Structure 1
Amino acid sequence: MALGQVSVNNLNLSQGAVTAVERYFLFIGAGAKNIGSLIPLNTDSDLDVQLGIPASDLKTQITAARLNGGDRWACLAAPIAADGDWKLALDKAQQQGYSVETVVITTPVVAGAELTVMHDEAVELANTYKRNVFVMTASKGIDPATTWAAYLTAQKAITKDVLAPLVLVVPLLHGNDLGVLAGRLANAAVSIADSPMRVATGALLGLGPVPSDSEGVPLQSALRAELDKARFSVSQTYPDYPGVYWGDGNMLDAPASDFQVVEYVRIVHKAARRIRPLLIRRVADRRLNNTPNSMAVNINALMAPLRAMAKSTTFAGQVFPGEIEPPKDGDIVLSWTSKTAVEAYIKIRPLNCPKDLTANIALDLSTDDTE
Structure 2
Amino acid sequence: MLGKVTVNALNLQQGEFPTVEKFFLFIGVGPTNRDTVLFLNTDSNLDTELGSAASEIKTQISAARSNAGQNWACAAIPVADGTAWAAAVDLAMAQDVRVEAIVVCTPVTAAAQLTAMNTKAEDINTTYGRRVFFIAQSIAIDPTPSTGKTWAQFITERTALTSGLSAYRVSVVAQIYANSIGIYAGRLCNYGTTVADTPMRVETGPLVGVDQTGLPADKDGVKYNNAHAKALNDQRFAVPQLYADYPGVFWSDGQTLDAPAGDYQVIENLRVVDKAARAVRLVLIGLLGNRRFNSEPIGEAWAINKLMRPLREMSRSYAFQGIPFPAELKPPQDGDVAINWITRTQVEIFMKARPFEIPKDITANIVLDLSAPVA
TM-score category, normalised to shorter length: over 0.9
Tell me if 1:112 matches 2:111: yes
Question: Which letter does structure 1 place at the counterpart of 2:261?
Answer: A
Partner residue in 2 for 1:87: 86
Tell me if 1:146 matches 2:149: yes
In the superposition, relative to structure 1, how do residues 28 and 306 fare at CA in structure 2: closer, same or farther (>3 Å)? Answer: same
Structure 1 residue 348: Cα displacement: 0.4
Structure 1 residue 71: Cα displacement: 1.1
Partner residue in 2 for 1:348: 353
What is the SS of the residue equivalent to 2:308?
Answer: helix
Question: Which letter does structure 1 place at the counterpart of 2:91?
Answer: K
Structure 1 residue 367: Cα displacement: 2.1
Unaligned runs of 5+ in 2: none
Alignment of 1:95-244 (within 5 A): 95-144=94-143, 145-207=148-210, 209-244=214-249
Structure 1 residue 28: Cα displacement: 0.6
Q: CA contact under 8 A between 1:64 and 1:207: conserved in structure 2?
A: no
Indicate the larger mover: 143-152 or 19-28: 143-152
Indicate the larger mover: 116-125 or 359-368: 359-368
Partner residue in 2 for 1:38: 37
Tell me if 1:27 matches 2:26: yes
User: Over residues 94-122 of structure 1, what are the superposed CA-to-partner deviations in whole Å (9 max), with x where a residue is unaligned?
Assistant: 11111100000001001111100000000
TM-score (norm 1): 0.98
Partner residue in 2 for 1:75: 74
Partner residue in 2 for 1:254: 259
What is the SS of the residue equivalent to 1:107?
Answer: coil
Q: Distance in 1 between matches of 2:349 and 2:77?
A: 37
TM-score (norm 2): 0.97
In the superposition, relative to structure 1, how do residues 138 and 83 fare at CA in structure 2: closer, same or farther (>3 Å)? Answer: closer
What is the SS of the residue equivalent to 2:168?
Answer: strand
% of aligned pairs identical?
48
Q: CA contact under 8 A between 1:176 and 1:207: conserved in structure 2?
A: no
Question: Which letter does structure 2 place at the counterpart of 1:101?
Answer: E
Q: Distance in 2 between matches of 1:38 and 1:190?
A: 27
Structure 1 residue 180: Cα displacement: 0.3
Structure 1 residue 316: Cα displacement: 2.2
Alignment of 1:197-346 (within 5 A): 197-207=200-210, 209-346=214-351
What is the SS of the residue equivalent to 2:367?
Answer: coil
Structure 1 residue 220: Cα displacement: 1.6
Question: Which letter does structure 2 place at the counterpart of 1:204?
Answer: L
What is the SS of the residue equivalent to 1:149?
Answer: helix
Q: Distance in 2 between matches of 1:260 and 1:149?
A: 25
User: Over residues 334-360 of structure 1, what are the superposed CA-to-partner deviations in whole Å (9 max), with x where a residue is unaligned?
Assistant: 111111011110000111111000011
Q: CA contact under 8 A between 1:197 and 1:246: conserved in structure 2?
A: yes
Question: Which letter does structure 1 place at the counterpart of 2:276?
Answer: A
User: Over residues 168-221 of structure 1, what are the superposed CA-to-partner deviations in whole Å (9 max), with x where a residue is unaligned?
Assistant: 000111111100010010111211100000111111101372101111111121
Partner residue in 2 for 1:6: 5
Q: Distance in 1 between matches of 2:369 and 2:66?
A: 49
Q: Distance in 1 between matches of 2:322 and 2:369?
A: 32
What is the SS of the residue equivalent to 1:108?
Answer: coil
> How many residues matched?
369
Q: CA contact under 8 A between 2:176 and 2:240: conserved in structure 1?
A: no
Structure 1 residue 364: Cα displacement: 2.3
User: Over residues 298-347 of structure 1, what are the superposed CA-to-partner deviations in whole Å (9 max), with x where a residue is unaligned?
Assistant: 10111011011010122122120100111000000011111101111000
Q: Distance in 2 between matches of 1:296 and 1:135?
A: 37
C-alpha root-mean-square deviation of aligned residues, in Å?
1.0
Q: CA contact under 8 A between 2:292 and 2:302: conserved in structure 1?
A: no
